[in-house]
Amino acid sequence: MILTGIIGCGSIARGRHIPAYVQNPHTRLAAIYDPVPGRAAREAEQYGAVPYENLEEMLAHPGLMAVSVCTPEKYHRDTVIAALKSGKHVLCEKPMAVNLKQAVEMKETAEKSGRLLMISHNQRIYEPHWKAKQLIEEGAVGKVLSFRTFLSHNGPENSVTDSGQMGNYYDRAEGNGGVMLSVGCHRIDLIPWMLGRKIISVMACTPTLDKRTSDGCLIRNEDTAMILLKCEGGITGMLYTGWCTYGCTDRETHIFGTEGVIKTFEDPWSVTLYKKSGEKVYYDLSPWAEKGSGGATAIVDKFIECIAGKKPSFVPAGEGIECMQVLEAVRESDRTGRWVDVSR
């Protein structure tokens, strides 16, 4: 039995990581830490885990082997490094860190510690995404030429359940980055994984259009991002992400090939293959929306499989770093107004 723990007991921990560890037959949720008094205790009580309000004490919990780091982005580096140094395997929420330097330090610490550091880029486990990847690999759309990928919603203030206790989300989010780091990173990870091609250069426009702090000023970080991306093999595409999509959520990805088009999430939880011949093949993946990746516990299951030595890391730290490298290139491109190569 693998004893697991949670660091940062907010919405992603409660909605995803805790249920996943509780359901996984190979794990027992043993310890929960959150610095906000009472927050860890509230969850721990339900699951028979020990609550902590001190990180060192939590990491010293007897037999604790693995932890999920579910803190805000700006605390990932310090928390992950502390957990690795104490001998724990770590599943770190996305984005890996707030900048490349931090991410590299985290990976180096993992290597020195001999412990697993996996990044929770969970969009890879969504059925429409792996179905699209499978179709691409089978050659269903011939040679891939281009893509467009969208991921946008009405802003974290409308989904982060703890924000009410902590004031305006954007007041406290300073230091966590903007929408590109928070949301766009999902697709910066997804596209190379889906296409099997790395992103090699970017051209970015990342404005702040509508989100404000409580004093009425526009937030310092971007709330919208439009990126052109060049990938290996000459594939060129575009990414749109934003916190200013009001009235619906946009999460479609389209892959354009010489023999047709793949569209994910055109309907919720579906993939549609449009063939050059005019034939249309619809894959209804809705049964998975509740039970499979829709329940979104699968990333934790993958983490546990890796620890148990059954499978290689599903999202190795090195791939978290590649995502951070692209994000740095995006920042540079927005600053200079130029195409920027992704340095390796």
Ligand X SMILES: NC(=O)c1ccc[n+]([C@@H]2O[C@H](COP(=O)([O-])OP(=O)(O)OC[C@H]3O[C@@H](n4cnc5c(N)ncnc54)[C@H](O)[C@@H]3O)[C@@H](O)[C@H]2O)c1
| Chain positions contacting ligand X, by CB under 6 A | 7-13, 34-36, 39, 70-73, 75, 79, 93-94, 120, 122, 160, 162, 182
Q: Which is nearer to ligand X, 122 or 241 (CB)?
A: 122
Q: Which is nearer to ligand X, 182 or 264 (CB)?
A: 182
Q: Which is nearer to ligand X, 189 or 328 (CB)?
A: 189
Q: Which is nearer to ligand X, 26 or 172 (CB)?
A: 172
CB of 70 to ligand X, least distance (A): 5
Backbone Cα Rg of the chain: 20
Q: Please give the structure tokens belonging to residue 330.
A: 């995006």
CA dist 186 and 172 (Å) reads 22
CB of 188 to ligand X, least distance (A): 13
CB of 17 to ligand X, least distance (A): 9
CB of 2 to ligand X, least distance (A): 21
Q: Which residue has the tokens 């690795």?
A: 84
Q: Which is nearer to ligand X, 214 or 258 (CB)?
A: 214
| Contact (CB, 8 A) for 102 and 77 | yes
- Count Cβ neighbours within 10 Å for each residue of 156-186 and write b for 16 or more, e otherwise: beeebeebeeeeebbeebeebbbbbbbbbbb
Q: Which is nearer to ligand X, 72 or 318 (CB)?
A: 72
CB of 169 to ligand X, least distance (A): 8
CB of 341 to ligand X, least distance (A): 27
Closest CA to 327 of 211, 215, 193, 227: 227
Q: Which is nearer to ligand X, 35 or 316 (CB)?
A: 35
CB of 35 to ligand X, least distance (A): 5
Q: Exposed/middle/buried for 12, CB within 10 Å: 0-12, 13-18, 19+?
A: buried
